[in-house]
Every structure is written in C-alpha cells, then in structure tokens.
Amino acid sequence: MIHVTEEGRPAAPLQLRTFNKFPLEERRAHALAALRRGLPDVRTHEGRFAGKPAAVVGAGPSVEASLETLRQWRGPVVACEKIAALLAGAGVDPDYVVALDASDDVARSILAGPPDATYLMALQCAPSAFDALGDRAAAVFMNMMEDVDVDELLELADVTIVNAGGSVTIACAALSIILGCREIEVFGFDCHIGDGLYARGATGVGVEASVVPATVAGRVWHTTWAYMEFARQMLELRALGRKIGAIDDLRIHGDSFACAISQEDVRARP
C-alpha cells in the first residue's frame, strides 16, 4: 500500500484525505459557547519559552519507556490531555495540557489532570471539558476547521487559529512553536497499534477505528487511516516549520510510524 524506494524510504509522501469525526453543528455550537466564556487567547503565552526545547507528549504506548527521559527534561513539557495525569503521577509535571477533541471524555481527562498546569483548549471542545477546568489556568485557540464559518467566530473574539491537524499531539507541537520553542522532541506519537491504542494509565477512551495493515521497508505496521494521516501531518509541520524558520528541528522518540514513512531521518538522537 505504501510504495518505498530501494533504500527503504517512501518514494513520495502519503496523500490521504480525512475528515473531522465530530458533526459540524456540534463543533460550531461548542466554539460559540467557548468564546462566550471570555477566556484569554493562546497568544498571551507567545514566546514564553523562547529558546528552550519543548517535550511534546502524546498518549501512545511508547511514552512509558520515556518517562525517565521526561523526568530529566529541562524545558517546557506540553502534553495531550489523555496523558497528563499519568505524567504527573510519574513525577513529570506538564507546563501545558492541550485538549483538542469535541468528545465528552476530554472532561474526564481534565478532571484527573494536574491542577497547576495551564490548559490550552480548542474551541471545539465540549462545554463539559470547559466546565471541568474549574479554576485552572486556561487559554483558547481555534483549530483549522474548513467547514466552519470562521468569520462568524472572529466577530465574537480575536482568536488565534492553529493548524493542529487532526491529532492533539500535532496541536501540542504547533502550540510549542507559539511558545517560542525552536527544538521540539515528540514522545508517545506511535501512530500504529502495537501494545494497544494508548499508554497504560492514559485517561479517556478515544474512538475505535478499523485496523489497516501497511508495509514499509518489509515491516507490516498495524495502523489506521487516521493514524497514517496524522503521521504525514506531523512530518509536514516539521518541514514547514523549518522552511519558514519557525523551528530548528522536530524529532520523534519511540517506535513511530511517522519515522518509518519519513523521507528524512527524524528519529530523536540518544
């Protein structure tokens, strides 16, 4: 299914077309309700960690093997909401927790998450997720939504649009750029189903999807159409960030499908 060169690298980037799994009217209603809460925009945090390397942490199973590395991290930790409680319990304190999905289980992850982190919330998140914040520090952003009338939302507030792709881990990486981080290392971005969908101890249930076998350089990966697209989007973010001078590099830890399909070596250095 994925064509590779003789050297074992993809001959061309994957070209997939995915869609937002949450209904349009639901996302629109969520966004309007979120804006009326009057939370600050994510740009109020712009450049806060300028020059420092960011650890972006997704909820893939490989993150479990990286906990010691994360405990010793000297820079901001930007984590997806599903993994925040696990990190805090393992002695890794996220500076930021990012929520992207419009599903109700996001609220459960926020309630279990560290109270001292700052929560960066996509406007499409459900009202229950915003309610779960309580008195936690928070800011909002709008993920790219091609099917939503952006002008209608911008009439209510001047909100930053973040190209978060379809994955909260990609959102974490994009937001790290706004924070001023030029070196980004990504953990738990597996994009395949090896030892399960998520790390043990991750909160929330996610969405089940059909498994798709994909062969790269002789190895069969059990993945999904969405995971394949997320891998491509992360690599595209890296390429664009470097092209416009927004970042110096983005590297990926663990056994990631994104590393397998990349035409460059994007694996994190030991």
Residue 25 pLDDT > 80, yes or no?
no
CB 107 within 8 A of CB 81: no
Q: What is the spatial distance between Cα 75 and Cα 124, in angstroms, rounded to a whole number?
A: 29
Q: What is the spatial distance between Cα 228 and Cα 235, in angstroms, rounded to a whole number?
A: 11
Tokens 């901001």 map to which residue?
Answer: 76
Which tens digit of pLDDT belongs to each residue from 70-122? 999 999 999 999 999 999 999 999 999 999 998 889 999 999 999 999 999 99
CB 124 within 8 A of CB 143: yes
Q: What is the spatial distance between Cα 193 and Cα 10, in angstroms, rounded to a whole number?
A: 20
Give residue 131's pLDDT.
97
Give residue 4's pLDDT.
40
Which tens digit of pLDDT belongs to each residue from 213-246? 999 999 999 999 889 999 999 999 999 999 999 9
Q: What is the spatial distance between Cα 215 and Cα 257, in angstroms, rounded to a whole number?
A: 10
Listing DSSP states for 155-167 in one string gives: TT----EE--TT-
Length of the chain measured in residues: 270
> Would you place residue 165 in the very low, low, confident or very high pLDDT band (cuts 50, 70, 90)?
confident
Average pLDDT in the chain: 87
User: By three-state DSSP, how is residue 91 classified?
Assistant: coil
CB 87 within 8 A of CB 178: no
Would you state the structure tokens that stand for residue 49, as one six-digit string?
């960690």
Residue 8 pLDDT > 50, yes or no?
no
Stretch 121-148: mean pLDDT: 89
* Every domain of the chain and the residues it spans: 24-261
CB 98 within 8 A of CB 168: yes
Least confident of 13-17, 82-86, 163-167, 184-188: 13-17
* Burial label, 122 (beta-carbon count in 10 A; 0-12, 13-18, 19+): buried
Q: What is the spatial distance between Cα 19 and Cα 176, in angstroms, rounded to a whole number?
A: 24
**Is the CA virtual torsion 116, 91, 41, 21 positive or negative?**
negative
**C-alpha angle with apex 81: 122 to 53, nearest 5 degrees?**
90
Q: Which CATH class is domain 24-261?
A: alpha beta
Q: Record the pTM.
A: 0.89
